[in-house]
Amino acid sequence: MSKQYVTDCDYCGEISLCQDDGAGGTTCSSCKRRQEEKTLVLEFSGTFFIAAKDVKFQSISSVLGSSEDPVINGEDWLKLSEKDRQKYILQSIAHVARDCQDINIDSLKITEEET
Percent of the chain with pLDDT over 70: 83
Radius of gyration of the chain (CA): 19
Provide the pLDDT confidence category of residue 4 given band limits of 50, 70 and 90. Answer: confident
Domain locations along the chain: 4-37, 42-112
Amino acid letter for position 24? G
Q: Is the pLDDT of residue 42 over 80?
A: yes
Share of the chain above pLDDT 90, in %: 34
Q: Residue 32 has what DSSP assignment?
A: H
For residue range 52-70, list pLDDT tens digits in order: 999 999 888 765 666 666 8
Could you write out the DSSP letters of every residue in 65-97? T-SS-SEEEHHHHHHS-HHHHTTEEES-HHHHH
